[in-house]
Amino acid sequence: MTDAQEIQRRLIELDVEHRDLDAVIDMLTLDGHHDQLQLRRLKKRKLQLKDYITLLKMQLVPDVPA
């Protein structure tokens, strides 16, 4: 498997996890009986995933000479 294929596979996995976290956060927020610490940790994890997804997407774009 090439590096690009491996990055694409990892991007899909991270994107699914990001969407799942978004759904869990929404559900906990709407429930009204949520733990603030747990919610904060989930949001932090979601931001970490977003940053990592962005980093991987940048690796897929070839360098363009300036």
Q: Domain limits of the chain?
A: 1-57
Instruction: Note the Cα 55 to chain centre separation in Å.
Output: 11
pLDDT at site 15: 97
Confidence at 46, pLDDT banded by 50, 70, 90 = very high
Alpha helices (runs of H) in 1-66, residue ranges in sequence order: 3-31, 36-60
- Predicted TM-score (pTM) of the model is 0.82
- Give the integer Cα–Cα distance in Å for 40 and 45: 9
Higher pLDDT, 63 or 51: 51
Q: Examine the pLDDT at 21 and tell me if it is beyond 90.
A: yes
Residue 45 in contact with residue 17, Cβ under 8 Å? no
- Give the integer Cα–Cα distance in Å for 48 and 24: 16
Q: Examine the pLDDT at 66 and tell me if it is beyond 80.
A: no
Higher pLDDT, 50 or 65: 50
Determine the 3-state secondary structure of 66 from DSSP: coil
